[in-house]
Amino acid sequence: MFHIYCPYCEELREEEEFHPKGQAHIERPKDPEACSDEEWGDYLFFRDNPRGIHHELWVHAVGCRKFFNATRNTVTYEILETYKMGEQPTITAESLANREALGSVQVAGGGQQTVGASNASVASVKGVKA
């Protein structure tokens, strides 16, 4: 069960109050009519599907009903931060990799139940570019 911090309610609430709504920060093309089939198809259907840090949209469906963003690790499921619509994440795969390289933070890599996960995939979980 996730405990998710709603940036509008400013409280930790249980997962069942929320719905995940997919990848965050997707911008609707300003002039859809001007899009090529490729651009429009990419906008509609193609999503980032990283093994590791993912920025996603959630809605506090049975709470304040507001949409907000979350940065979450898709392997450990750790929620690293939540932030309001229109804001940018302070934690990204790149920033984590940099901070870990400096030794100032250790990223949890535990709790995986992935069959045959190798060092390479653990590294990718930690956001290290292989």
Partner 1 sequence: MQRYSGFGLAKHALSHHENWERQWRNPTPKKQYDVIIVGGGGHGLATAYYLAKEHGIKNVAVLEKGWLGGGNTARNTTIVRSNYLWDESAALYEHAMKLWEGLSQDLNYNVMFSQRGVMNLGHTLQDMRDIQRRVNANRLNGIDSEVLTPEQIQEIVPIMDCSKNARYPILGASWQPRAGVARHDAVAWGFARAADALGVDLLQNTEVTGFKIRDGRVFGVHTNRGDIEAKTVGCVAAGNSGVLAKMAGFRLPLESHPLQALVSEPLKPILDTVVMSNHVHGYISQTDKGDLVIGAGIDGYNGYGQRGSYPTVEHTLQAIVEMFPIFSRVRMNRQWGGIVDTCPDACPILSATPVKGLYFNCGWGTGGFKATPGSGHVFAWTLAKNQAHPLAAPFSIDRFHSGALVDEHGAAGVAH
Task: List interacting residues with partner 1 (CB under 8 A).
Answer: 1-2, 15-16, 19-20, 22, 37-38, 40-42, 44-51, 54, 56, 72, 74-77, 111-116, 118, 120-121, 124, 130
Min CB(93)–partner 1 separation in Å: 12
Nearest alpha-carbon partner for 24 in 62, 50, 63, 61: 50
CA distance 54 to 71: 6
By beta-carbon proximity to partner 1, the closer residue of 104 and 119 is 119
Min CB(99)–partner 1 separation in Å: 22
Q: What is the DSSP letter of 46?
A: -
By beta-carbon proximity to partner 1, the closer residue of 105 and 108 is 108
Min CB(29)–partner 1 separation in Å: 14
By beta-carbon proximity to partner 1, the closer residue of 44 and 105 is 44
By beta-carbon proximity to partner 1, the closer residue of 7 and 124 is 124
Min CB(105)–partner 1 separation in Å: 21
**Strand-strand pairing, 53-59 and 67-73:** antiparallel
The DSSP result for 60-125, as a single string, is -TTTT--EEEEEEETTT--EEEEEETT---S--HHHHHHHHHTTS----------TT--HHHHHHH
